[in-house]
């Protein structure tokens, strides 16, 4: 599977989140052997949990499946630039590579804002690849917020 097909999987998780009334963001974790070990979308409303972002949910599920609090060599795909909370969680989990779709000028914490991975206090810095399937990821969010207005 190519990195784009993993992002397609994240996009389908984002679509499902939107259908549940959640902000449409989806994420998957891929093991070093190329298996999708966790996939989910935002569930903050459903779980009444402000930390239930897609990235946090897939990190928790992948760690539980592996029986470890770290995921070395694993990759994380997410449709939107991670926020500072998720970027910190990604670093704690020792994720190898992060692929994300759309940029998030409002709440992103990777390219802008807190720039978590660029701080000297960040002890594990993943490789970051942005703009993967950015257009469909951004369109999902645009449509979602347009309908809410």
Instruction: Provide φ and ψ at 73, rounded to 5°.
Output: 80, -5
Q: Which is nearer to Zn ion, 96 or 113 (CB)?
A: 113
Q: How far is the CB of 86 from Zn ion (least distance, A)?
A: 3
Instruction: Provide φ and ψ at 80, rounded to 5°.
Output: -130, 150
Q: How far is the CB of 118 from Zn ion (least distance, A)?
A: 17
Interface contacts to Zn ion, rule CB under 5 A: 53, 83, 86
Cα(106)–Cα(75) distance, rounded to whole angstroms? 25
Instruction: Check 9, 16, 46, 55 and give the catalytic one.
Output: 55
Identify whether 55 is a catalytic site residue. Answer: yes
Cα(119)–Cα(66) distance, rounded to whole angstroms? 29
Q: Which is nearer to Zn ion, 53 or 74 (CB)?
A: 53
74 is in an annotated binding site: no
53 is in an annotated binding site: yes
What's the burial of 2, exposed, middle or buried (CB within 10 Å: 0-12/13-18/19+)?
exposed
Q: How far is the CB of 40 from Zn ion (least distance, A)?
A: 12
48 is in an annotated binding site: no
- E-strand ranges in the chain read 26-30, 36-41, 75-80, 97-102, 127-129
Q: Which is nearer to Zn ion, 86 or 102 (CB)?
A: 86
Binding site residues for Zn(2+), as ranges? 53, 83, 86
Catalytic machinery residues: 55
């Amino acid at each position: 599977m190519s990195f784009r097909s993993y992002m397609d999987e994240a996009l389908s998780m984002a679509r499902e989140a939107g259908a549940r009334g959640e902000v449409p963001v989806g994420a998957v974790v891929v093991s070093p052997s190329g298996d999708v070990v966790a996939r989910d979308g935002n569930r903050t409303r459903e779980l009444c949990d402000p930390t239930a972002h897609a990235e946090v949910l897939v990190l928790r599920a992948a760690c539980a499946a592996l029986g470890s609090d770290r995921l070395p060599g694993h990759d994380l795909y997410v449709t939107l630039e991670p926020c500072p909370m998720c970027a910190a969680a990604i670093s704690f989990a020792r994720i190898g590579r992060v692929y994300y779709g759309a940029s998030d000028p409002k709440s992103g914490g990777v390219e802008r804002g807190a720039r978590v991975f660029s701080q000297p206090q960040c002890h594990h810095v993943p490789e970051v690849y942005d703009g993967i399937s950015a257009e469909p990821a951004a369109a999902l969010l645009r449509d979602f917020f347009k309908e809410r207005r």
